[in-house]
Amino acid sequence: MFEAEPAVLSARPSSSAPPMSGVRMTEPKGASASSGPPANKELVGLMSAVAEKRSREAFAGLFEHFAPRVKSFIMRAGAAPDVAEELAQETMLMVWRKAASFDASKAAVSTWVFTIARNKRIDRLRRENRPEIDPEDLKLDSETPDPAAAVSALQNRSILETAIKDLTEDQARVIRMAFYEDKSHSAIAEELGLPLGTVKSRIRLALGRLRTMVEQDEV
């Protein structure tokens, strides 16, 4: 699943990939402008200050970084600015309340915030419940060798963020529609007037390409 297909991918030099249209991939603004975006490490530091010391100062740092991104993320799914603002605030409130359940060994901070914002979006914009796996669930296959098996190969945040900007326009568009616009495979196919199989393979190629870029960089 999501196998990389280097032969296809390497045929297209990444330098020629046009920038994503619609969604501008800006450099994230960090606490220290000179060193670029706050690395996951820095965000993890803020998270643990919030979780362990209930630091409001650290929370303000997380708010400053994530709230404007979450608001933008929710607006793209079709919400009015005031609704998006409210959901961004509620997402950050959940960050405060659930900080103790954040596990830096399992997810990057932005992944964790994404899942909270995604669930808020489902809850509010679609008025649906979100079925999730409870951490207390012990149903996992006993064959599972170790908990690390559940860790994603794409955890290396800084490389992944660079890689995502290097997707081809076709790949970037489907990824964008899926994550920002709350569109399923079939909805994307319908909107772009493409066969479902084409959308599936574009998403698969995009994921494969991200994985290849992250893995190459880690070697």
With residue 70 as reference, give the H or E element that holds it: helix 56-76
Candidate residues 9, 49, 118, 171; the one interacting with another protein per rule CB under 8 A: 118
Q: Which residues contact 9 (CB under 8 A, 6 or more apart)?
A: 205, 208, 209, 212
Q: Which of 81, 100, 103, 195 binds another protein (CB under 8 A)?
A: 81
Asked if residue 210 binds another protein (CB under 8 A), the reply is yes
DSSP secondary structure code for residue 165 in this structure: T
Helix ranges (H only) for 181-195 are 185-192
Binding to another protein (CB under 8 A) within 164-183 occurs at 164-165, 175-176, 178-180, 182-183
At 67, the amino acid letter reads A
**Least CB distance to another protein at residue 144 (A):** 4
Asked if 101 is part of the footprint of another protein (rule: CB under 8 A), the reply reads no
Residue 203, interface with another protein (CB under 8 A)? yes
Token pair 């709350």 in the structure block, residue: 182
Quote the tokens at residue 206: 């995009």
**Contact call for residue 184 and another protein (CB under 8 A):** yes
Which residues 132-161 are close enough to bind another protein by CB under 8 A? 132-134, 136-141, 143-144, 149-155, 157, 160-161
